[in-house]
Structure formats: C-alpha cells, structure tokens
Structure 1
Amino acid sequence: MAPRISLSRLVEEDVFTAADGALATELEARGCDLNDPLWSAKVLLEKPELIREVHRDYFAAGATIATTASYQATPQGFAARGIGEQEAVDLVALSVRLADEARREYLADHPHAGPLLIAGSVGPYGAYLADGSEYRGDYALTPGEFEDFHAGRIAALVKAGVDFLAFETLPSLAEAEALLALGREHGVDSWFSFSLRAGDRISDGTPLAEVARLLDGQPHVAAVGVNCVPLGLVDPALAALRAHTDLPLVAYPNSGETYDPGTKTWGQATDGGAGAGGGAPASLAAGAPGWLERGARILGGCCRTTPADIARLAGKA
C-alpha cells in the first residue's frame, strides 16, 4: 500500500471531490446474487475480482474515492457462515487490497489522475442484523457492546492501509459516539454519514444539530453528512448540519427510489423524496450545485447509482 493520503487535507482545499457510487448495484449487474445477510461482502468469498472491476470502473467514471466492500464484512457476520476470526480479518483486508489494486491499475494508465483515496467502509450494527435496522436505529447496545462489535473490523481496515474510515449509514447517535471513541484510538481520518428519518433528524430521531455538535472540532473527523437517503432530503440535511458545524459536508444519496426493508425491494418515492423546501432534484448531477453551496465538499452516490451517474456528477459525461 502507498502512504496514506489525508482526507482532512483534501477537503481543506475547498474543492469538490467525487466519491464512488453503489457497489452492490454494480455487482448485481455482473450477475451476483446478494440476497444474503452478508450482502456485498458475500462477493469477497465468491468472486472478489468483480469487486476490483467495479472499483476500477468508478475511477474511470471520475471518482477519486473508492469505498471498500466491507460495509457488512464483520467477524460476527462471517462467524455465522462458519468462518473463523482470522479468516474474517483477512477478508476485510482483502476488501482494501482489491480497492488498492484497482487504484494502481487505473493510475498506471492515468498517472496524472491522483490523488485517489480508499475509504474503509464501516457499516452500522443494524447492517449486520440485515433487517433494515440501519434505517430505523431501533436497537440498543451499551457503548462497550458497540465498541466490541466494531473494533475488529476497524483495526483490520486500518492495518490494511485505508486512507480513512467511512462510518456510514449510521442511524444512531449512541453508535456514532462509540465509533468516535474507536476512531480516536486509531488516529486515522474519518467521515461520519447518517441515515435520516427526516431532513433535520437521523433515523433514531436525534436532531442533526446534536450530531453536528458531537463531531464538530473532533480530531481526525474530516467531514460529516448523509448517505443512503432520498435525493430530496440532502439539501435540508446539509442546511441543518451547516447551521451547527464548520466541518466539510459529505453527501451520497440514493438514485431517487426508496427501499422497503420488509420486502427488500425498491420503488419510486411517492413524494419524490422531497424535503421541506420542495421537490427533489432529478439526479445527483442536478442536485450537486445546490449541495455544494450548502458546504458539501464530497459528493457521490449510494444504492442504485452507477458509474454513469458518477461520470455525470464528475463532469465526465
């Protein structure tokens, strides 16, 4: 692995950085069946070369951040498949190596494309439950239990050389507090992004103002924002965060559809994902100018977005 690239330094430059889009969507397009509690982490076991291909396609589309296939890659989740702790740690490290290989391959052909960063994806406890809890935050663990759950994966990602940690789709303030403590231990840059109940509240009902106060001024927290949310909730959420923090903001919403965790299907939002200010933008690229005005420095896509969406967002299509 190359020396770590500082996310903090990148966002301090006050320029737009394009992150990647959905990993699972692209893996499914390549024939992977992700109807499994491990979700995209299942592909680490079965066809890891496809993950490298997706990372490379996003770099080619203009993304400068690759997010590892570790969102649901936890020792606890792998243990349910009879996989021991060391092999689980090795699989988490594999997710980093695949992203780095894609980066090296792309830079070999495009030596002036850098810097390209690797984000170590840390999904919430609710993702491990595989029941949609990351959109509700209706689980209660002690701080110690949260830290015990997340510690092994985080340590493996940092040891494998990620440039920073992406604590993402977080529905719970208590879980964010535990992750903040773990992040301090490792001293690696991170961003925190949350799922939402409304434009001004995360999924467990905590106001975004309280989230901003928790993270503002924390060492190694380089950005805060939202992900896996409807397009129309991004603007009000960024406005709520900006009112209480000067941290750079990050947003990577879904394509515009909404997810039903009960049926595990996607459908068109009945209200267009509109926030308090009106209708939703039609796409990532359409929403980007307004989100940048709100203080976003990192924009990408989450579920159901593709390299084509990122190419339009990055101005390459």
Structure 2
Amino acid sequence: MPVLLDGAMATELSARGFDLRAPLFSARALLDAPELVAEIHWDYLRAGAQVLTTNSFGLHASTLAVAGLGERQRELALRSVELVELARRRALEGDRSLARFRVAGSIPPRPLNDQDCAEPDLARAEYRSLAAQLVGAGVDLILLETFTRVSEAKLALEGLAEIAVPVWLAVVAGMPQQRVSRPDGTRLIGGDSFDELAELTRASGEHRVPDALLINCTQIDAIPAALDSLIASVGPGRPLGSSPHLGKRRYDGVWVDRIVEPEVFAEQIHAWMHSRPALDLAGACCGSTPAYIAAMKRWLQPDELARERAFVRLAELVP
C-alpha cells in the first residue's frame, strides 16, 4: 500500500503571500514567517501526508554564507524540524492518529559554481554538515531531493556515508528535447541514464547506498517513462516512488503552474501506481497544495484499512 508524502513548500508559501527571494527562497520563511511554515505543515498533515518534509532546502553552508547567515546553519536546521514537530503537538492535542508521521530532512543539490568540480572534498563536507545538523535536530530520514546529475548525487551520498538514518534519493527526470514539448523521461534532466543512477544502489564503501529512490519535480507527462526506466534499471527490492510537479510550458512559452486539478492528478497517480506495484511512495512537488494530497489520499488510501497498511509499510521503511 503506497505511503503518502507531502506536497510543495515553496510554491505554497508563494501562494499564501510570502515573497520568495534569492538566495534563501523558501528557507527565508524560517526567519520571517515561521508561523506560515508551521501552518503549511499542519495542512499537509491534515490532508493525509504520512511524511512531512522540513523547509531546509536553502540551508547549505554556501547558500547561508551568501545570505550573510553563515554561522546559523545549526539554528535554522533545528528550527526547520521544530516547525514540523509543532504539527505533531497539535495532532496529539486532537486527532492522535495523525501523530504517527515521519520527518524527512530535505537536502537539495548545492548551488554550483566553476570551482565545484575541482573541490569534491568540500562538496562532501557541505552535504555532511547539513545532514548532521538535521539528524541532530531529530529527523527520521534524509531526503536528497531534486538532483539532476548522477555525479552530484554521488558526492552527496559520499558525504552521507556515515549517516545513521535512512537516506532517500529523489532525482529530476525529463531531459529536454529540441522542438518536442514532452521531455525525454528515460533520462535525468541533466542527461544521465537511469542505468547510471542505478550504479549508486550497488554496495560501496565510498558512498551511502540510498534506501529508496524517487522521481521528483518532474513534468507529469515524463513520469510514466521515467518510472518504467527507474524500475527496469534498479530492479526489485528497493522502495521506489514519485512526486511530480504540476507545471508545464504552454504552446506560447508561458509557464502554467498547475495543468491538472487535484482529482485528475490523484487519479493519474493511482493509475500509475496500480500498474506498477513496485512503487511504494507517492507525493507531489511544485504547484501542489494540501488539496492535491487530500485527493491522493482518497484514491490511494480509500479506507482505514488501506491507510493502516500504508503506516505499516512506512514503519518498515523508516523504523
């Protein structure tokens, strides 16, 4: 039974009036609008999410340094977890069944520059630092999300070699094609193949083998090919899933944030997962709202027995 993840944070902050500005973007809300972050977590939990993701996407040391906050990574990582845990407190005061969720510590790719390829040790240290702060703050798992290149994912996994909690890796698929509106879902957006990605699942003393693999922040019409490629390359036995984004460029080049409504989206996710029983995890990315997660709950966990089975599966994945 699929485990239900949460939805987007940054686009939901923007939809509720928060100004996303570089370099911190959504992470700036930890400082300027913590109550809004907490409310979004709570709304996703009430909608049915069984895994809530920290708003830590902008907390790499190099990003904080650009923002003049280089000494505050530990403080902000702790705050990102505390704002999720506020949802647990609210649940325990009311519907205690909601309090069984897991907390995923979000870590994105580093902001790249020309020196990155020449400094792999620094890259590993940056991933290790943020992961250690999030684990110390109490997350149940680390979610490496929106990785577009296998080489960068490998650096992150090398940095997390000693991390004790489960590590999930989410990559962006859909390599752009010239004069074709539908991206190539059989490759990562950076051009790497899923066979190259699958090499990261082989046992190695150099890097942490990811405990689960997901397709995230990927255009909806590229998802079926991406999932089929992922399943074929990775093989059986490893938890897999997806969290598509909801946007697409229109024929005239204008970006549309949401090309499908919640029920249509949830029905499509259900169809993909029903035809691919290897999939364990389902969520949504940019453009999604709690309404999308609520619709997914109705389709993927239509009754209490189905939801309970999903919680059992979650306990297996994240003890």
Given the two structures, how large is their TM-score scaled by the length of structure 2? 0.80
* Alpha-carbon offset, residue 213 of structure 1: 2.9
Q: How does 1:7-18 map to 2 (within 5 A)?
A: 15-18=1-4
Distance 2:275 2:170 in 1: 19
Distance 1:108 1:292 in 2: 36
* Alpha-carbon offset, residue 113 of structure 1: 3.1
Q: Name the amino acid aligned to 2:131.
A: I
Distance 1:24 1:285 in 2: 24
- Select which of 154, 160, 167 maps to 1:177: 154
Structure 1 counterpart of 2:275: 293
Q: Name the amino acid aligned to 1:283.
A: F
Structure 1 counterpart of 2:212: 223
Q: Name the amino acid aligned to 2:242.
A: A
Q: 1:229 to 1:71 in 2, by over 3 A?
A: same
* Alpha-carbon offset, residue 81 of structure 1: 2.2
* Alpha-carbon offset, residue 291 of structure 1: 2.9
Alignment pair present for 1:99 and 2:84: yes
Distance 1:154 1:107 in 2: 28
- Percent identity (aligned): 33
Q: Name the amino acid aligned to 1:40.
A: S
* Alpha-carbon offset, residue 282 of structure 1: 4.7
Structure 2 counterpart of 1:248: 239
Q: 1:258 to 1:287 in 2, by over 3 A?
A: farther
Distance 2:94 2:26 in 1: 28
- Select which of 33, 48, 51 maps to 1:47: 33
Given the two structures, how large is their TM-score scaled by the length of structure 1? 0.80
Contact kept in structure 2, 1:19 and 1:301, CA below 8 Å: yes
* Alpha-carbon offset, residue 19 of structure 1: 0.5
Structure 2 counterpart of 1:257: 248
Structure 2 counterpart of 1:65: 51
SS at match of 2:242: strand
Structure 1 counterpart of 2:137: 160
Contact kept in structure 2, 1:67 and 1:119, CA below 8 Å: yes
Contact kept in structure 2, 1:16 and 1:297, CA below 8 Å: yes
Alignment pair present for 1:76 and 2:62: yes
Structure 1 counterpart of 2:123: 146
Q: Give the total of aligned pairs.
A: 281
* Alpha-carbon offset, residue 195 of structure 1: 1.1
What residue ranges of structure 1 are gaps of 5+ in the alignment? 1-14, 134-138, 274-280
- Once the two structures are overlaid, the 10-residue window that deviates more, 174-183 or 45-54, is 174-183
Contact kept in structure 1, 2:201 and 2:209, CA below 8 Å: no
Alignment pair present for 1:315 and 2:301: no
Alpha-carbon RMSD: 2.8
Task: Summarize deviations over 1:199-248 as a string: whole Å, max 9, x none.
Answer: 11112211012212322567763210211111111111111111122211
Structure 1 counterpart of 2:21: 35
* Alpha-carbon offset, residue 284 of structure 1: 3.7
Task: Summarize deviations over 1:48-80 as a string: whole Å, max 9, x none.
Answer: 111110000000000011111011122221222
Structure 2 counterpart of 1:305: 288
Distance 2:85 2:248 in 1: 31
- Select which of 178, 190, 195 maps to 1:209: 195
* Alpha-carbon offset, residue 154 of structure 1: 1.1
Distance 2:44 2:293 in 1: 7
SS at match of 2:139: coil
Structure 1 counterpart of 2:265: 283
What residue ranges of structure 2 are gaps of 5+ in the alignment? 176-183, 303-319
- Once the two structures are overlaid, the 10-residue window that deviates more, 222-231 or 55-64, is 222-231
Contact kept in structure 2, 1:231 and 1:284, CA below 8 Å: no
